[in-house]
Amino acid sequence: MSAAVVVVALALVAIGGLAVVVTHDPIRQAVTLSVFGVLLAVLFLVLQAPDVALSQVAVGAAVMPLMVLLAVRTIRRDRR
């Protein structure tokens, strides 16, 4: 794999991580967290770790944002 591809993948992951941190709305933050998980999976694929990429897609792009959304919904429901 070319070093340029790895650098581009790392840059995308860094930008995605920054987007998660600077997003203030919890719903949008969960969506950007999901995109960040996909970007990490792409990085793992570029680094030739398909098993880790598959785990990252399952946990980082699906389960973790779902848990955040459920927590936000529970907190908002309790405030009413």
**33-45 residue pLDDT tens:** 999 999 999 999 9
pLDDT higher than threshold 90 for residue 50: yes
pLDDT higher than threshold 70 for residue 26: yes
pLDDT band at residue 79 using 50, 70 and 90 as cut-offs: confident
Of 18, 30, 33, give the one whose Cα is nearest residue 72: 30
Our count of domains for the chain comes to 1
Alpha carbon distance 9, 16 (integer Å): 10
Alpha carbon distance 11, 48 (integer Å): 17
Q: Which domain holds residue 25?
A: 3-79
Alpha carbon distance 35, 62 (integer Å): 10
- pTM value is 0.86
pLDDT higher than threshold 80 for residue 80: no
pLDDT higher than threshold 70 for residue 49: yes
